[in-house]
Structure 1
Amino acid sequence: MASQSQSQLDSLLQKCTSLIHMKQLQAHLITTGKFQFHPSRTKLLELCAISPAGNLSFAAQVFRRIQTPSTNDWNALLRGLAQGPEPAQALSWYRAISRSPQKVDALTCSFALKGCARALAFSEATQIHSQLLRFGFEADVLLLTTLLDVYAKTGDIDAAQKLFDRMPKRDIASWNAMISGLAQGSRPNEAIALFNRMKEEGWRPNEVTVLGALSACSQLGALKQGQIIHAYVMVVDGVNPDAVSYLAALCACNHGGLVEEGVRLFDMMKGCGVKLNVKHYGSVVDLLGRAGRIKEACEVINSMPMFPDVVLWQSLLGASKTHGNVEMAEMASRKLVEMGSNSCGDFVLLSNVYAAQQRWHDVGRVRKAMKIKDVRKVPGFSYTEIDCRIHKFVNGDQSHPSSKEIYAKLDEIKFRIKAYGYAAETNLVLHDIGEEDKENVLNYHSEKLAVAYGLISTSDETPIQVIKNLRICVDCHAVIKIISKIYNREIIVRDRARFHRFKEGVCSCRDYW
């Protein structure tokens, strides 16, 4: 009878395709007295926390009704939170289970680390690292690979490398995480060297490996090495690259500014009969747009056999803003309105195009439209971690306890960088104000505030790490390059698109991002 009851409940679980169904099943378990003891409770919790039809808030409510949660119960909720919209919540729950009578297992640590990776929570990851060693999980390859991925994504490539070198066993995912980490962390030479070492040790690269290696080649502009890697996939494995492989190569060309190579690759795809999707077209549109070839980018969109999505027109709008093409920006903006897009970025980009041409009446018109539609601009912010504490800054921020010292440092920086020929990019300040006011606006951008705080709060040999939620501006990029030279500091900035590693007056992106 027990097995039959279990079978019936499992069948009900499979039929739960909506939140209402899940609530009905929970009610059934409670009224039959099986909620506190039945294994289906954990499966219900997993369904609520992880499935597309689930709801994390309801999952938390279900969890709180459990008198004595098992480790599996904790893990189900932790997994859902780690992959949900607010991954930092997973870390709070991990701390809670660490204080509970239940025993933490390898899956608990793995889900918490995935939350760290998505929340870019470096200090929490190091704490979990020490705990998993204490728990005796150091031989778990999957867990160590997840930890390695966290270190790489939070920008501590040295910690990732140290962990990789000490791993008792590695799998293909470990190699991929390290190669991708080196490539994304602006250490492309080391990424390619590790790719070659991987082959020498008898490992067979897969699509993820090749993507990381090609990304490194694109940063270096190493076309020959890229061709070798590409040939290694069509010759050694004996397979023809598919749509995913071509997309990886196109993305590598895009990030490296290899425009002609990317266009040639795109034409090759069409000639080889590869089925193109909207992502292939989007990558080429972005590639051409970044290079200022706006008309060609628009022609690519118009030639598509499928309906262009919002992202394609947003890419064209962004490129039009960068290269000051008002006519194309207006056309892309109209397309976005027709498609029902209500993103604040669409309005802001068009407003910035007008402001750059000093068409203040049109700027006012766009801002009025934003107000009518209740569209609010996403504020830019940056943060840096000093002594295990996160310090967040917004433009012109004076709320930090060390604001006086930070602004004094910025004044010092402003004086010193002028000796290196720096001139403020005041054309980036899209407000109808005087030149001196424009310089002040630029001087107090959030990333500059974070870097200045790093300079006054850390020792001379300590690298400064900054994370920004938006794309780093041209002026901040130029200033931080000079700061890295005159203060002899390595500065790593992770913006919305990529890592920028500033050292001795040079950025790893080669001023293309």
Structure 2
Amino acid sequence: MPQRSVVTWNAMVNALAQDAQLDQACAVFNVMPARDVVSWNGLVAAYAAKGHFFLCQDLFDLMPQRDEVTWTALVSGLSESGNLHEAKLYFNNMPERNDVTWNVMLSCYAQSFHNHDQALEIFQRMPRHDVVSWTVMIQAFGQQGDVGEARSFFDKMPSVSLVSWTTIIVTYAQNGYLDEAKSVLEKMPLWDLVPWNAMVTGYADAGHCCAAKDCFDTMHHRGVVTWNSMI
């Protein structure tokens, strides 16, 4: 290409970063004739996701300007790489937080078995709750085995997505509440493979072979997980 725009340069940096070629991404970034906030965001997110906290911090401090995407990418990357303490520090220092950033922090703590109390604290601090927020909390309670709280949160949802239905059914099934799981499954407005797989697996694990077979025979489609559960 005889002449490259900043969009083209950004695409190159992001492609290398997403392919875990951080040294090459940084090399391209360093020779860019002009950079915008997208250029910086791509590299910050890549270093954060790989857990390179100090390099990420250096880049963040050097940025001439930051936007919500910068902060969210940093918090998300640090969270995903297991740097919860650093992620929370940046989250607390954000000048403004959007729904995505709140949900990133919520998911970060909810996915860690020992941090469910902090997840609930963040949920209570959130100015707004969307379907993602509610579903994350249902999953967190399910991982704890607190099926009652999981169902309580499900029932309080202003609107329910397919993922939310699936999450509560999987929560019931994985904790051995198969009758409750089946009851919710029968009310589910749309068919989806994941909750049916959870039901088949739940019945099979509990030794209810006939119920597992009946559920298997009722399924519209079957995947590898379904067949493995029956085997």
TM-score tier by shorter-chain length is 0.7 to 0.9
2: distance between equivalents of 1:257 and 1:188?
A: 23
Cα displacement (A) at 1:278: 1.7
2: distance between equivalents of 1:349 and 1:323?
A: 12
Whether 1:208 aligns to 2:104 is no
Question: 2:24 — aligned with what?
Answer: 127
2: distance between equivalents of 1:325 and 1:195?
A: 47
* Residue pair 2:9, 2:32 contacting (<8 A) in 1 also: no
Whether 1:228 aligns to 2:116 is no
Question: 1:309 — aligned with what?
Answer: 192
Change in Cα spacing, 1:298 to 1:127, as seen in structure 2 (3 Å) is: same
Cα displacement (A) at 1:342: 4.7
Structure 1 residues 83-102: aligned runs within 5 Å: 101-102=1-2
Query: Which of 346, 350, 356 matches 2:230?
Result: 350
Letter in 1 for 2:212: A
Whose helix fraction is larger, Structure 1's or Structure 2's?
Answer: 2
2: distance between equivalents of 1:205 and 1:301?
A: 36
Change in Cα spacing, 1:144 to 1:214, as seen in structure 2 (3 Å) is: same
1: distance between equivalents of 2:123 and 2:56?
A: 27
Whether 1:279 aligns to 2:159 is no
Query: What percentage of residue pairs aligned between the two structures are identical?
Result: 23
Whether 1:190 aligns to 2:86 is yes
Change in Cα spacing, 1:141 to 1:289, as seen in structure 2 (3 Å) is: farther
Query: Which of 135, 151, 167 matches 1:247?
Result: 135
Letter in 2 for 1:163: L
Change in Cα spacing, 1:312 to 1:109, as seen in structure 2 (3 Å) is: farther
* Residue pair 1:149, 1:181 contacting (<8 A) in 2 also: yes
* Residue pair 2:44, 2:59 contacting (<8 A) in 1 also: yes
Change in Cα spacing, 1:246 to 1:103, as seen in structure 2 (3 Å) is: same
* Residue pair 2:200, 2:216 contacting (<8 A) in 1 also: yes
Q: Which has the higher contact order (CA 8 A, sep 6+)?
A: 2
* Residue pair 1:221, 1:258 contacting (<8 A) in 2 also: no
Cα displacement (A) at 1:281: 0.6
Structure 2 unaligned residues grouped into runs of 5+: none
* 1:255-310 deviations in Å (ceiling 9; x for gaps): 676644432211222xxxx1222221111122333334333322221233x13322
Question: 1:297 — aligned with what?
Answer: 181
Structure 1 residues 368-387: aligned runs within 5 Å: none
Letter in 1 for 2:131: A
* Residue pair 1:191, 1:216 contacting (<8 A) in 2 also: no
2: distance between equivalents of 1:326 and 1:171?
A: 55
Q: Secondary structure at the match of 2:65?
A: coil
Question: 1:170 — aligned with what?
Answer: 66
Whether 1:104 aligns to 2:4 is yes
Q: Secondary structure at the match of 1:122?
A: coil
Change in Cα spacing, 1:224 to 1:345, as seen in structure 2 (3 Å) is: closer
Change in Cα spacing, 1:303 to 1:214, as seen in structure 2 (3 Å) is: same
2: distance between equivalents of 1:303 and 1:195?
A: 39
* 1:351-409 deviations in Å (ceiling 9; x for gaps): 2xxxxxxxxxxxxxxxxxxxxxxxxxxxxxxxxxxxxxxxxxxxxxxxxxxxxxxxxxx
Letter in 2 for 1:226: A
Aligned length: 229
2: distance between equivalents of 1:296 and 1:173?
A: 41
* Residue pair 1:192, 1:217 contacting (<8 A) in 2 also: no
Structure 1 residues 255-274: aligned runs within 5 Å: 259-269=147-157, 274=158
Question: 1:143 — aligned with what?
Answer: 39
Change in Cα spacing, 1:261 to 1:106, as seen in structure 2 (3 Å) is: farther
Change in Cα spacing, 1:150 to 1:320, as seen in structure 2 (3 Å) is: farther
Cα displacement (A) at 1:151: 3.6
Superposed CA RMSD in Å reads 3.0
Give the alignment's TM-score, normalised by structure 1. Answer: 0.39
Q: Secondary structure at the match of 2:11?
A: helix
Change in Cα spacing, 1:282 to 1:113, as seen in structure 2 (3 Å) is: farther
Whose strand fraction is larger, Structure 1's or Structure 2's?
Answer: 1
1: distance between equivalents of 2:13 and 2:201?
A: 35
Cα displacement (A) at 1:209: 0.8
Letter in 2 for 1:310: L
* Residue pair 2:193, 2:222 contacting (<8 A) in 1 also: no
Letter in 2 for 1:106: V
The structure with the larger Rg is 1
* Residue pair 2:106, 2:133 contacting (<8 A) in 1 also: no
Cα displacement (A) at 1:324: 5.7
2: distance between equivalents of 1:214 and 1:104?
A: 40
* Residue pair 1:317, 1:332 contacting (<8 A) in 2 also: yes
Q: Secondary structure at the match of 1:205?
A: coil
2: distance between equivalents of 1:327 and 1:135?
A: 64
* 1:140-165 deviations in Å (ceiling 9; x for gaps): 21122123333444x34435444334
Change in Cα spacing, 1:292 to 1:187, as seen in structure 2 (3 Å) is: farther
